[in-house]
């Protein structure tokens, strides 16, 4: 079945034909999205059998690439024992221990199913812990699609130019003075420690340290949304890489090994405000799902220092892209900003290279991407720029 036929059917039964707006490709001038059939390593194959080097990687989770054999094996073995129980399992404890050991500020963690849920609950917890309602966040940031986070958000909200209602005192990223003006009385400051939803924007020197200081001075909680950066730019995420510790951390993507799992965590005394230990309610039928914990554990246990050295080495090779536009990279996440991004997207796609259909989304490296794939991307971008 061709993508056009699938898309026509999809449009009849799924709003806009996609289950997440960022998958639509109209913003880059394509009539229909890519319908994926299978993936292997750095490669994605579409429903018509075309193969692409995949720099999207399901928007970040696949640090070992598609259909990583060990992850698949772990999930299949777990599935044979039952796909969900709704009662605690050993692997949930193991995954929580793995996260606590890896992420410097996290002493306790709760497992949920999506980054949206994790961020939404971290905000609820911060509000309960401080007894304050307002909070501070940054324009172009994205923390999932819960109501409070939508106005001036990044990712698909920005790509589609949607202006939704939202809450929070929204200030420009990397602008500490703006934060200082609005932080008084806020429950928390919610921040992507490396912005990844308006393209990659690294934190300015002193920005994260400044947020920590302002939060300490005003009794405000600092929340790092590390859904993208967690286990990607270091095993312990941005907080390890930059040495600034938040009060609460939101995790997603890599932590679930490519299955629906996310988490939020922090100091024990804060986390124990959650029910049933405390009075802040949060729940989930599929929370800590056995297939997802199997995938997450399989991945996290293999994320050794050597993996990050390898990703950094490959990242440095990717830095050659800086010759063709503004290039930003922190570890295994990167963005190339060019004037006519839709044209670049189509140029690359025609050459079997799939990058995100919006400049607001980052490019992701996996261990499955080799020099061949990296050099092919650089050559194709050079050809585009010539």
Catalog residues that contact ligand PMP under the rule CB under 6 A. Answer: 59, 114-116, 119, 142-144, 155, 192, 196-197, 225, 227-228, 252, 262
Tokens of 264: 């939020």
Decide if 225 is catalytic.
yes
Catalytic residue among 225, 247, 308, 341: 225
CA–CA dist 280, 273 (Å, integer): 6
Smallest distance from ligand PMP to CB 18, Å: 13
CB-based contact 321:336 (threshold 8 Å): yes
- Give the nearer residue to ligand PMP in terms of CB position, either 123 or 374: 123
Structure tokens at 374: 């990296």
Return the residue matching tokens 């958000």: 153
Closer residue to ligand PMP (CB): 259 or 262: 262
Q: Which of 48, 76, 116, 68 is nearest to 257 (CA)?
A: 68
26 DSSP assignment: G
Which residue number has the CB closest to ligand PMP? Answer: 115
Of 12 and 285, CB closest to ligand PMP: 285
Smallest gap from Cβ 117 to ligand PMP, in A, equals 7
Compute the residue count for the chain: 386
**Cβ closest to ligand PMP, residue 121 vs residue 367:** 121
Backbone angles phi, psi at 171, to 5 degrees: -130, 165
CA angle 130/164/11 to nearest 5° reads 130
Closest distance of CB 287 from ligand PMP, Å: 13
Nearer to ligand PMP, 114 or 282 (CB): 114
What's the closest the beta carbon of residue 16 comes to ligand PMP, in angstroms?
Answer: 17
Contact call for residues 114 and 262 (beta carbons, < 8 A): yes
User: Nearest distance from residue 260's CB to ligand PMP, in Å?
Assistant: 8
Q: How far is the CB of 119 from ligand PMP (least distance, A)?
A: 5
Cα distances (angstroms) measured from residue 51 to each of 37, 238, 352, 354, 358:
10, 33, 6, 9, 20
Query: What is the SS3 assignment for 306?
Result: helix
Give Cβ neighbours of residue 139 (< 8 Å, ≥ 6 apart): 152, 154, 170, 171, 172, 173
Q: How many whole angstroms separate alpha carbon 311 and alpha carbon 309?
A: 5
Region of residue 168 (phi > 0: left; psi between -120 and 50: alpha; otherwise: beta): left
Residue 142 annotated among the catalytic residues of the structure: yes
* Residue (14 or 76) nearer to ligand PMP, CB: 14
158 is known as an active-site residue? no
Residues 52, 54, 173, 253: which is the catalytic one?
A: 253
Active site residues: 142, 225, 253
């Amino acid at each position: 079945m061709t993508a056009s036929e699938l898309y026509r059917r999809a449009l009849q039964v799924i709003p806009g034909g996609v289950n997440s707006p960022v998958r639509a490709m109209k913003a880059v001038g394509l009539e229909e999205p890519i319908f994926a059939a299978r993936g292997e390593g750095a490669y994605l194959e579409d429903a018509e059998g075309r193969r692409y080097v995949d720099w999207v990687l399901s928007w970040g989770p696949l640090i070992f690439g598609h259909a990583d054999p060990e992850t698949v094996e772990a999930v299949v073995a777990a599935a044979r024992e039952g796909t969900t129980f709704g009662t605690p399992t050993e692997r949930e404890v193991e995954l929580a221990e793995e996260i606590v050991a890896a992420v410097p500020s996290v002493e306790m963690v709760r497992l949920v199913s999506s980054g949206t849920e994790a961020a939404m609950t971290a905000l609820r917890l911060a509000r309960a812990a401080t007894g304050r309602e307002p909070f501070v966040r940054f324009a172009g940031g994205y923390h999932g699609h819960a109501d409070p986070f939508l106005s001036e958000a990044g990712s698909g909200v920005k790509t589609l130019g949607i202006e939704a209602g939202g809450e929070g005192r929204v200030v420009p990223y990397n602008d500490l003075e703006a934060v200082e003006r609005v932080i008084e009385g806020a429950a928390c400051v919610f921040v992507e420690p490396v912005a990844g939803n308006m393209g990659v924007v690294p934190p300015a020197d002193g920005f994260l340290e400044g947020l920590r200081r302002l939060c300490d001075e005003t009794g405000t909680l600092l929340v790092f949304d590390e859904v993208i950066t967690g286990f990607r730019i270091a095993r312990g995420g941005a907080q390890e890489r930059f040495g600034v510790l938040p009060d609460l951390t939101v995790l997603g993507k890599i932590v679930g090994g490519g299955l629906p799992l996310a988490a939020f965590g922090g100091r024990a005394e804060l986390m124990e405000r959650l029910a049933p230990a405390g009075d802040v309610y949060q729940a989930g039928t599929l929370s800590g799902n056995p297939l997802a914990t199997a995938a997450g554990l399989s991945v996290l246990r293999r994320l050794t220092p050597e993996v990050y050295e390898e990703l950094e080495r490959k990242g440095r090779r990717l830095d050659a892209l800086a010759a063709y536009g503004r290039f930003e990279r922190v570890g295994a996440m990167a963005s190339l900003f060019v004037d006519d991004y839709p044209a670049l997207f189509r140029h690359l796609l025609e050459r079997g290279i799939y990058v995100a259909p919006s400049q607001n989304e980052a490019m992701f490296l996996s261990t499955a991407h080799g020099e061949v794939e990296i050099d092919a991307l650089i050559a194709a971008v050079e050809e585009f720029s010539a």
